[in-house]
């Protein structure tokens, strides 16, 4: 996709309304053209996969989300160096000695809002990539979806943290810690299958139930981490109890070493044994 032909001034200002300027004023848009290309190339390499780039031309909704992300991310990357001034119509660039840059508080607020919307857009791109044949097998898919709690929308749904990018960065780190507890509960085998099915949009209803329970555990763990760093055992037990109650729906779990360890026959003392073990 030729990104510079797709992102016009009108398209850019549609995705970043705060920069909307009169038609004769292209200052912000013109300053970001090189950044558009850099952000797009990074997105293809890191998320989309070069082998699937041509799919963007056929997937209209995905293409729109890519354009949104590129516009927002390019603006976020450049905002500190633009010398923005707040005008009656939006944020423009200082171009006369008599115009003072916008206050740091206003620029920070704008940047935080754009960072959050860029993060939402990136997650939407990843979500749409899962339905493309072959993406789920790529290294980009494995990097993008490393644990069940990968989407910023999960933070809004399952945690009590204020909805900000800084909190999302914190939540992402803690979700990896929570993942270790979840793997002990549902088994590494089933967790890997869940992640692969998530990357390829092939989850069934039984999987979705477990993912909801897992994300509820992770959300609670993240929300309360500053006060209690121990996992909520009740929620973990609830996940295991569900798996055990419907074994026919979770064959990967029941075939796992975790399941076998939970159901292994315990040693029984015999009359002829010289030593008795109490377990």
Least confident segment among 48-62, 102-116, 150-164, 188-202: 102-116
CA distances in angstroms from 227 to 201, 221, 223, listed in the order given:
36, 10, 9
pLDDT per residue as tens digits for the range 135-148: 999 999 999 999 99
In a 10 Å sphere around its CB, with 0-12 CB exposed, 13-18 middle and 19+ buried, how is residue 263 labelled?
Answer: exposed
Strand partners, 92: 85
Which pLDDT belongs to residue 18? 81
- 148-173: b (≥16 Cβ within 10 Å) or e: bbbbbebbeebbebeeebebbebbbe
Taking each helix axis from N to C end, the angle separating 165-186 and 205-223, rounded to the nearest 10 degrees, works out to: 120
For range 10-33, the mean pLDDT: 80
pLDDT per residue as tens digits for the range 59-110: 999 999 999 999 999 999 887 766 544 454 455 444 444 444 445 677 778 8
Q: Which residue has the higher pLDDT, 263 or 68?
A: 68
Which pLDDT belongs to residue 36? 95
For range 119-147, the mean pLDDT: 97
Which pLDDT belongs to residue 108? 77
Measured between alpha carbons, how far is 158 from 129 in angstroms, rounded to an integer? Answer: 23
For range 187-206, the mean pLDDT: 98
- Dihedral sign of CA atoms 177, 178, 180, 181 in order: positive
| Cβ(55)–Cβ(134) below 8 Å | no
Which pLDDT belongs to residue 276? 47
Q: Is the pLDDT of residue 56 over 60?
A: yes
Element (H, E) at 258: helix 257-263
CA distances in angstroms from 198 to 23, 215, 249, 259, listed in the order given:
44, 13, 17, 22
What's the pTM? 0.86
Q: Which letter does DSSP use for residue 86 in this model? A: E
Highest mean pLDDT among 92-101, 122-131, 260-269: 122-131
Helix H, strand E, coil C: the string for 156-185 is HHHCCCCCCHHHHHHHHHHHHHHHHHHHHH
């Amino acid at each position: 996709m030729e990104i510079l032909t797709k992102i016009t001034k009108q398209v850019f200002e549609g995705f970043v309304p705060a920069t909307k300027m009169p038609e004769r004023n292209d200052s912000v848009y013109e300053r970001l053209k090189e950044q558009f290309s850099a952000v797009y190339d990074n997105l293809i390499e890191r998320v989309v996969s070069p082998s699937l780039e041509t799919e963007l031309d056929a997937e209209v909704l995905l293409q729109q989300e890519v354009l949104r992300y590129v516009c927002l991310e390019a603006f976020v990357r450049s905002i500190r160096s633009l010398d923005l001034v707040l005008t009656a119509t939006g944020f423009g660039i200082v171009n006369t000695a008599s115009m003072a840059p916008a206050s740091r508080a206003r620029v920070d607020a704008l940047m935080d809002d754009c960072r959050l919307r860029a993060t939402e857009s990136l997650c939407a791109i990843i979500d749409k990539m899962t339905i493309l044949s072959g993406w789920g097998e790529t290294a980009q898919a494995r990097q993008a979806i490393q644990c069940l709690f990968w989407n910023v929308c999960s933070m809004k749904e399952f945690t009590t943290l204020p909805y900000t990018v800084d909190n999302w960065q914190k939540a992402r780190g803690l979700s990896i810690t929570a993942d270790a507890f979840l793997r002990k509960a549902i088994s590494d085998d089933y967790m890997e299958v869940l992640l692969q099915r998530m990357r390829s949009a092939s989850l069934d209803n039984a999987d979705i139930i477990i993912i909801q329970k897992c994300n509820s555990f992770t959300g609670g763990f993240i929300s309360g981490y500053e006060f209690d760093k121990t996992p909520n055992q009740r929620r973990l037990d609830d996940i295991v109890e569900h798996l055990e109650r419907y074994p026919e729906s979770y064959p990967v779990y029941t075939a796992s070493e975790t399941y076998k360890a939970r159901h292994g026959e315990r040693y029984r003392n015999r009359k002829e044994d010289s030593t008795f073990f109490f377990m």
